């Protein structure tokens, strides 16, 4: 009998294969008006090829990653890459093994369109079902944390407490006791074996400094003997990815690597920004903007657009456009700045809806098309807020090493709205730096997809 992740993995594969069969059958009917061709050797072989490619691609792209740490937007990003590869490989095999390859053209088109439409629904419904079951049975993964130093403390505060992974921290052990773990200290490292035996432990998180090699080796060896999964939190002394280059024969380690420093990455990101913003302006903004403009004018006096100076790439000042969402007060001091708060009386009735749905941001696609902003990137802050934060928040100015975006990694992770406390801004900056250091085209696609999902669901921090 399979347990846990293994059973979850097999169920998801089975559901996908079942759905592929349904899509294959429906596409055959759409193509020929009957199901007779399904029983021919050619179509049976084609479906077998499809399943084989689907499984191989799923292993390559990790389509069936653990859904407790694999968000729906991440899964959909992987799915799109997976589906594109599946289509290309299936076409290649058709030309390679079938003489009359043209007969499959319509069928393959219908097949992949149906997959594109149906699989996301299936995967979303599966997540809803799993979440329901886990709520009913209070499913949690029991974690034992090794280490009580700064590394373990930071991981405890940001990696376990502030997530949706359903982790249950059963305790912390180390040779030195600290009071940062809310009474969860269980004992010293040499007591690890007894602690594992007395508690139901699913996974051991090792968060010891790199120089404590003897303790690390001891813990890993003991956990493996007790058949416990071990994960290691690495300590590089500072956050950020590292790069190694060579100067005159000397290896030089760069403490931070930004993919968008490379010319080809900049080119492709800019090309994507131009195409995406142009399509949005032509297909959506062209008719939606006039409607919003009329509603704004009918609701309150003042200009339709709100223009504000913000810092862009390399701290260059840019004019950021938004639909006006607040009443105009001629007595306002334009040099002053006050963040919008929840239930802010300055926000108009229409403005509340625009801000809640993020529709007030869509004029910024003009900024994107003109090149001062990107579709995805760190959100640009009003200059007074940036001036206030740059000397308080570590690494704040690194946000401006890339173009600001309409949406970003921080926003889709819930870090938006008012920053009433320095910790709120610090959290947002950490999200932005992670994005800058881990940028990829597929990450941008994931963020765009998650932004659309959040707009439909609504965001409690959008006000």
Any residues with CB less than 8 A from the CB of 226 and at least 6 apart, and which?
193, 196, 197
In 3-state terms, what secondary structure has residue 308? strand
Tokens 């085209």 correspond to: 441
Indicate if the pLDDT at residue 246 is higher than 60: no
Q: 63, exposed or middle or buried, with CB in 10 Å at 0-12, 13-18, 19+?
A: buried
Q: Is residue 113 part of a domain?
A: yes
What CATH number does residue 148 fall under? 3.40.50.720
Residue predicted with more confidence, 301 or 240: 301
Tell me if the pTM is above 0.75.
no
Indicate if the pLDDT at residue 385 is higher than 50: yes
Nearest Cα residue to 127 out of 64, 46, 52: 64
Q: Is residue 108 part of a domain?
A: yes
CB 364 within 8 A of CB 314: no
Shared domain for 412 and 282, answered yes or no, is yes
Task: Give the residue from 232, 249, 276 where a domain finishes.
Answer: 232
CB 320 within 8 A of CB 364: yes
414 — alpha (psi -120 to 50), left (phi > 0) or beta? left
Indicate if the pLDDT at residue 18 is higher than 90: yes
pLDDT at 225: 80
CA distance 59 to 70: 15
- Section 429-453 average pLDDT: 87
pLDDT at 162: 47
Indicate if the pLDDT at residue 233 is higher than 50: yes
Q: Is residue 42 part of a domain?
A: yes
pLDDT at 121: 92
pLDDT at 386: 84
Any residues with CB less than 8 A from the CB of 133 and at least 6 apart, and which?
139
DSSP symbol at 417: S
What burial letters (b/e) apply to 362-385, b meaning 16+ CB within 10 Å?
Answer: bbbbbbbbeebbbbbbbbbbbeeb
Indicate if the pLDDT at residue 177 is higher than 80: no
Q: Is residue 252 part of a domain?
A: no
Dihedral pair phi/psi, residue 129, rounded to 5°: -65, -45
- pLDDT tens by residue, 322-351: 999 888 876 555 555 677 777 778 888 888
Nearest Cα residue to 20 out of 62, 42, 52: 52
Nearest Cα residue to 197 out of 225, 177, 169: 225
Shared domain for 122 and 145, answered yes or no, is no
Q: Is residue 245 part of a domain?
A: no
Shared domain for 57 and 119, answered yes or no, is yes
pLDDT at 245: 54
* Beta-bridge partner residues of 144: 171, 204
Cα(first)–Cα(last) distance of the chain, in Å? Answer: 50
Q: Is residue 248 part of a domain?
A: no
| Tally of domains within the chain | 3
Task: Give the residue from 137, 170, 203 where a domain finishes.
Answer: 137
Neighbours of 423 (CB within 10 A): 10
Q: 176, exposed or middle or buried, with CB in 10 Å at 0-12, 13-18, 19+?
A: exposed
Neighbours of 100 (CB within 10 A): 8
Give me the domain span that covers residue 329. 261-457
DSSP symbol at 249: T
CB 436 within 8 A of CB 447: no
DSSP symbol at 302: S
H/E stretch holding 110 reads: helix 105-137
Shared domain for 159 and 284, answered yes or no, is no
Indicate if the pLDDT at residue 448 is higher than 80: yes
Shared domain for 124 and 155, answered yes or no, is no
pLDDT band for 294, please (50, 70, 90 cuts). very high
Q: How big is the CA angle at 14 (ends 12 and 16), to the nearest 5 degrees?
A: 70
Q: Is residue 254 part of a domain?
A: no
Q: Is residue 189 part of a domain?
A: yes
Shared domain for 132 and 164, answered yes or no, is no
């Amino acid at each position: 009998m399979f347990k846990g992740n293994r059973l979850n993995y097999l169920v998801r594969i089975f559901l996908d294969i079942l759905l592929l069969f349904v899509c294959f059958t429906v596409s055959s009917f759409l193509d020929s008006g009957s199901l007779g061709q399904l029983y021919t050797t050619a179509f049976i072989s084609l479906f077998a090829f499809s399943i084989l490619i689907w499984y191989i691609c799923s292993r390559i792209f990790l389509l069936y990653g653990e859904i407790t740490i694999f968000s729906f937007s991440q899964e959909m990003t992987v799915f799109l890459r997976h589906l594109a590869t599946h289509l290309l490989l299936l076409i290649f095999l058709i030309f390679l093994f079938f003489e009359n390859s043209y007969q499959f053209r319509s069928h393959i088109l219908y097949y992949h369109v149906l997959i594109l439409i149906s699989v996301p629904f299936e995967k979303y419904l599966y997540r809803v079902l799993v979440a329901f079951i886990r709520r009913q049975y209070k499913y949690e993964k029991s974690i034992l944390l090794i280490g009580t130093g700064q590394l373990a403390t930071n991981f405890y505060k940001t990696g376990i407490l502030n997530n949706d992974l359903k982790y249950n921290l059963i305790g912390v052990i180390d040779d030195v006791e600290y009071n940062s773990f809310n009474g969860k200290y269980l004992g010293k490292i040499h007591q690890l074996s007894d602690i594992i035996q007395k508690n139901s432990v699913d996974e051991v998180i090792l968060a010891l400094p790199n120089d404590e090699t003897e303790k690390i080796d001891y813990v890993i060896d003991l956990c493996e003997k007790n058949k416990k999964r071990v994960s290691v939190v690495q300590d590089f002394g500072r956050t950020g990815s590292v790069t190694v280059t060579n100067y005159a024969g000397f290896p030089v380690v760069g403490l931070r690597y930004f993919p968008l420093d490379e010319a080809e990455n900049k080119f492709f990101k800019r090309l994507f920004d131009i195409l995406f913003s142009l399509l949005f302006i032509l297909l959506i903004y062209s008719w939606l903007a006039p409607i919003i403009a009329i509603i704004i004018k009918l609701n309150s006096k003042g200009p339709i657009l709100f223009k504000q100076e913000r810092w862009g790439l390399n701290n260059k000042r840019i004019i950021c456009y938004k639909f006006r969402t607040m009443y105009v007060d001629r007595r306002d001091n334009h040099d002053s700045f006050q963040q919008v708060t929840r239930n802010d009386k300055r926000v108009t009735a229409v403005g509340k809806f625009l801000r809640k749905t993020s529709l007030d941001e869509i004029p910024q696609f003009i900024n994107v098309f003109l090149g001062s902003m990107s579709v995805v990137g760190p959100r640009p802050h009003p200059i007074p807020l940036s001036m206030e934060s740059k000397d308080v928040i570590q690494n704040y100015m690194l946000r401006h090493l890339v173009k600001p975006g309409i949406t970003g990694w921080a926003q889709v992770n819930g870090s938006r709205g008012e920053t009433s406390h320095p910790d709120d801004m610090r959290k947002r900056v950490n999200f932005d730096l992670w994005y800058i250091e881990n940028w990829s085209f597929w990450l941008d696609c994931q963020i765009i997809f998650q932004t659309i999902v959040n707009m439909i669901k609504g965001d409690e921090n959008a006000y």
